[in-house]
Structure 1
């Protein structure tokens, strides 16, 4: 079957990644979008694009538009409708090719309860589970509550004691219903000292199934992966053979077609592994497999969907080097990894030869609470794991991405962590190493960057003043004291005083005059760049002003500085004792009641954002004296929610 035009039924970075392969194969790529995405990178890179009136989950609208555009096939990417058996059936019923496994496979493996039952019958090692809360004691704590139709960490809760069970199950059900339209959950034994090992499989329509090696994805927060790599440092050749052959055996029993991933939980202490789930789609972390095998998985998916046999056998697959992927999220690791919103004020990176960027964002894009907060995937490749980690860390440091709070520095902390470099990447890695994952910034670099920012601001403001830009810098018609500029960084105020000589800007930090006096000579300056000489050393940095903030990056990570006003704004009022929204979102449940006493740690209300629930808890004992919100309200980050006296 010859395919000519393929619709990518997705958005963002995965849509762009799939579009690239479609076009490289000489085929036409069709994109779909909602209003907020109409100027997105993936839409701009497609051959054709149509607007959806009812969102990315309206199956009938997508299929009708696909027919209007004479689409031959649909690639669902991941998320959204990628593992929706009903959508798969509808696509095929309209004589449109589905790029993925059969609907029957999607349906069976998409239900976590039924999939585990199937594996038990097929003698695939599987952890004990139950759908009855009364059987929790038999499994033994800690227990993991999981959504039956879930994935991506949504609808999951770790329960350490019986008193937590009811609330955790209720929260998991709500989250599962919101994310997947199915509120069924089950209980499973939680393996505390574990690794997440998954195997990439590939099958065709003629019964041929092979594997493309394993990926380790143990470093997670909120049960969502943030760093993935291939191969796993922990597996011996015998263990690797055992786990990959088990994955292929299961895929063959499923008569699996297209690309898929068989996921396992691996016990660090016993070397045992158990079936976790099959993802009947392309995985977020598929690039690390592509880097170590040289095989384009999307291309293979399209070839299989068009009726071709696999073009290689297991013995043809050659694994080379080591690849690591870091997921760049709009989230705040210092605020329990809660998602962040904002506008991408700028975006630049080094584009190293050993780095692959899978991103769907550009300067000016808005990050909203409507979609998953992942902005990009950054993948490194080298001959050794240590080199790959170093290359990826350096690349992340070079990324200039102001306007949105991200987990960039946290990822760097992970990659440079001694425990990570030794391969001790069990699922408790973040909890175990948390305090070490926020490395201190180099104070000397901070000082140089701040001084360069003062110089850039002076030049930038002067050149952008149409009335006064003919005057020399710092020119006055009288004798004035040195100019002053103040920044805030991590709640600390930095005050700089400066003046111009004929060739240099002289600058020092207030109260540190003798030891911090510097001379700065400008070499090159523009809207987003400063190159200058500071005390005999060259500083070359990307720089962006957004609102009252400035981000500067000299290759050691973005430094976000808030420009403090000369005078305080008397209109800024903070309500004492108030709890504020940690992020933009929707109030879906309120437990607190006016004039009722609360205890520290008690959940007062639940905020939903990006399909995830976040509990807002009392920080101290007290009484609710004011309620500023009600169920269903949409709130902005920092909005007052309630007041505790």
Structure 2
């Protein structure tokens, strides 16, 4: 009834005589039908064309494109499954066994890690399929799904691409998004600390090839899984929208991505050529959510009764909260994004720790303490953390222990 109500949003845009509409980075941002509706009503959709979006939506279509471009993909099913009957479930079972457990069930219409479920054996597959079908139907209007091999001990790397209407296509380097819980990112940084120049360039070329093959216009993100042990990488997914974490690239590359989006939509050329884009300022982004990390990221909606935000050199905050703000239970729990940059990664880490220590949010639980503990971890400091970092390094247990100490100190 709110942010997914295409008719109402379009009605408001027409009534206000809006020339253009920016969809942000959620809800309808990757909805090709909504982009098409805007186009038909003469409203500029600040993003890719609906034609481009249809090429990679549902998500399994992107896998097929990567194979055509000879870009390695994670082992999985190339065609989606839907309307699962007993006979069709046997096909899902066969696919999972062929791929090899553990597998991950992904909604075809999904993104941002939403609705994905791991099945470690055949017994878990039944419930996983039921959940993903239902979640896909409710969240994306698409009940279909596909099956992929679950890769562990990998880095989640994504390459930011910009393309204008004049044939100019550039990348803005990569982001390391490997600190995740339930397949959703919590800490992002740019650049990645352990990629070799050769592998980094191969990823850049692959991402640019995708943009060219799609005849893409505007901001595009191509996600990869990098396997440090074998020095290989695999395509994960394409995001035909602005990413939540785009801001960390803005800091590292000193490029205003949203400004470029608007310029591109207006028919302007890119403000930069490839040689002018350099990641000169190591940057880190911490997502501050209304969750309790002590209870394994349990959602904690409620009212913010007191708010103090950090400031200073190299610190940026993107927020929409204030004292008295009520975090609703029906939407994403993200409160704000806390970003820093430094002349070196070490400086950026110190700056982030200082900023986290100065931030105070009262009235609801947040994951500030989680970030403080995670950034102190030696594996994270080395840059060698992978997507199983939280589990592998017992970060939740360390957060619980730190919380106990703080409670004792506070009671004295």
Per the normalisation by structure 2, the TM-score is 0.93
Q: Output the CA distance in 2 between the equivalents of 1:113 and 1:371.
A: 26
Report if aligned partners of 1:110, 1:279 keep a CA contact under 8 Å in 2. no
Q: Does 1:209 align with 2:169?
A: yes
Q: What RMSD over aligned residues (CA atoms) do the two structures have, in Å?
A: 1.6
Partners of 1:247 and 1:342 lie apart in 2 by 41
**Structure 1: which 5+ residue stretches go unaligned?**
1-53, 451-493, 495-508, 510-645
1:372 matched to which residue of 2? 332
Aligned partner of 1:11 in structure 2 is: none
Aligned to 2:84: none
Report SS of the residue matched to 1:436.
Answer: helix
Give the corresponding residue for 1:546.
none
Q: Displacement, 1:151?
A: 1.0
Q: 2 CA distance for matches of 1:317 and 1:440?
A: 41
In the other structure, the counterpart of 1:466 is: none
Cα pair 1:203 1:256 within 8 Å, conserved = yes
SS in 1 for 2:360: coil
1:119 aligns with 2:66: yes
Instruction: Please give the residue correspondences for 1:402-417 in structure 2 after superposition, counting only pairs within 5 Å.
Output: 402-417=362-377
Give the alignment partner of residue 436 of structure 1, picking from 398, 402, 409.
Answer: 398
> Is 1:110 equivalent to 2:57 in the alignment?
yes
The change in CA–CA distance for 1:441 and 1:83 in structure 2 (over 3 A counts) is closer
Q: Describe how 1:244-643 pairs up with structure 2 within 5 A.
A: 244-434=204-394, 435-438=397-400, 440=402, 447=409, 450=410, 494=411
1:90 matches 2:37? yes
Q: Residues 155 and 174 of structure 1 are in contact (CA less than 8 Å); yes or no, is this contact kept in structure 2? A: no
Shift of 1:443: 6.0
Q: 2:10 corresponds to which residue?
A: 63
Distance verdict in 2 for CA 1:438–1:232, change over 3 Å: farther
Higher helix share: 2
What is the rounded CA distance, in whole Å, between the counterparts of 1:142 and 1:299 in structure 2?
42
**How big is each residue's C-alpha offset from its partner over 1:429-475, in whole Å with a ceiling of 9 and x where there is no partner?**
0001123345636969964xx4xxxxxxxxxxxxxxxxxxxxxxxxx
Q: Is the 8 A contact 1:390 1:416 kept in 2?
A: no
CA distance in structure 2 between the aligned counterparts of 1:220 and 1:208, rounded to whole angstroms: 33
1:331-368 C-alpha deviation (Å, 9 max, x unpaired) = 11122212111100011122122110011000001111
Residue equivalent to 1:77: 24
Over 3 Å counting, the alpha-carbon distance change for 1:417 and 1:205 in structure 2 is same
Distance 1:74 1:60, change over 3 A: same
Larger relative contact order, structure 1 or 2 (CA cutoff 8 Å, min sep 6): 2
The 2-side partners of 1:349 and 1:74 are apart by 30
How many corresponding residue pairs?
397
SS in 2 for 1:303: helix
**Structure 1 residues 431 and 94 mapped into 2: Cα distance closer, same or farther (>3 Å)?**
same
1:321 Cα offset (Å): 2.0
- What is the CA–CA distance in structure 2 between the aligned matches of 1:441 and 1:159, rounded to whole Å? 32
Quick check: 1:124–1:250 contact (8 Å CA) kept in 2? no
Q: CA deviation at 1:180?
A: 0.9
